[in-house]
Amino acid sequence: MPRTLFITGTDTEVGKTFVTAALLHAFSRHGLRTIGLKPVAAGCEMSSDGLVNDDALTLQRYATVRLPYAQVNPVALEEPIAPHIAAQRQGKSLSLPRLSGLCRGTLMTPHDISLVEGAGGWLVPLNPREMLSDLAMELRAPVILVVGLKLGCLNHALLTAEAIQRRGVPLAGWIGNQCQSVPMSGLKENLDTLSGGIKAPCLGVLPFAKSPEDEAVQSALRIGTLIPPDSSAG
């Protein structure tokens, strides 16, 4: 059975796309067929193919299953603001049933593992009643939490992990991402606090790097528990 994982972050600009791309590359090195989805992307630019988002293009590039852009990113919004506000300004409405239906349709494509990247942090509204995080529940996808290793990450990470688990969604693990070129002060102590406070395994602490393919990044990932047991790589 294919496995789907939902990638969220402690905040925006913590490296969710970088980590998702690194995971896609790591899974591909294990011979897995991978799909990367960015269901909702705010901050798109017009191209010959319509509105496109850099993060979604990155996932499209690193996935081994080649999909049309519209399947990778079915909801493309122009302004780089909260998705529900960007959608309102474009005269669109966002809904969980439509979004989950689009994702399920794409995930019928044969694959081994799919990574669905959220937008911003965990509690991002789709509309007054639904959150983007509800998509993880709809897809029955365990969550990987990307923690941007910078000042303030302890509060953001512990609150987010608590919110994920309070909703009854499995937390598959967390990944620390050194998203700044200068390591945060007290890095080891912060990592120790995160490990003690988040009730899920650490799946890696990634160094600052320009490419998800960087060998130091790949070596830091611990993906053994994420590989579907019945896959050809398991």
Return the pLDDT at 228. Answer: 86
Return the pLDDT at 167. Answer: 92
Return the pLDDT at 156. Answer: 97
- In whole angstroms, give the CA distance from residue 198 to residue 111: 30
Which CATH number does 3-226 carry? 3.40.50.300
At residue 234, the 3 state secondary structure works out as coil
Return the pLDDT at 232. Answer: 55
Question: Which residues, in sequence order, are CB contacts of 155 under 8 Å at separation 6+?
Answer: none
188 labelled catalytic: no
DSSP state of 57: H
Return the pLDDT at 136. Answer: 97
Return the pLDDT at 229. Answer: 82
Q: pLDDT 10s digit of each residue in the chain, 234 long?
A: 899 999 999 999 999 999 999 999 999 999 999 999 999 999 999 998 899 999 999 999 999 999 999 999 999 999 999 999 999 999 999 999 999 999 999 999 999 999 999 999 999 999 999 999 999 999 999 999 999 999 999 999 999 999 999 999 999 999 999 999 998 999 999 999 999 999 999 999 999 999 999 999 999 999 999 998 876 554
Instruction: State the catalytic residue, choosing from 16, 38, 150, 210.
Output: 38
Question: Which residues, in sequence order, are CB contacts of 92 under 8 Å at separation 6+?
Answer: 75, 77
Return the pLDDT at 234. Answer: 47
Question: Which residues, in sequence order, are CB contacts of 12 under 8 Å at separation 6+?
Answer: 120, 121
Return the pLDDT at 233. Answer: 55
How do 171-177 and 143-148 pair as beta strands? parallel
Task: Answer whether 0.85 is exceeded by the pTM.
Answer: yes
- In whole angstroms, give the CA distance from residue 206 to residue 160: 19
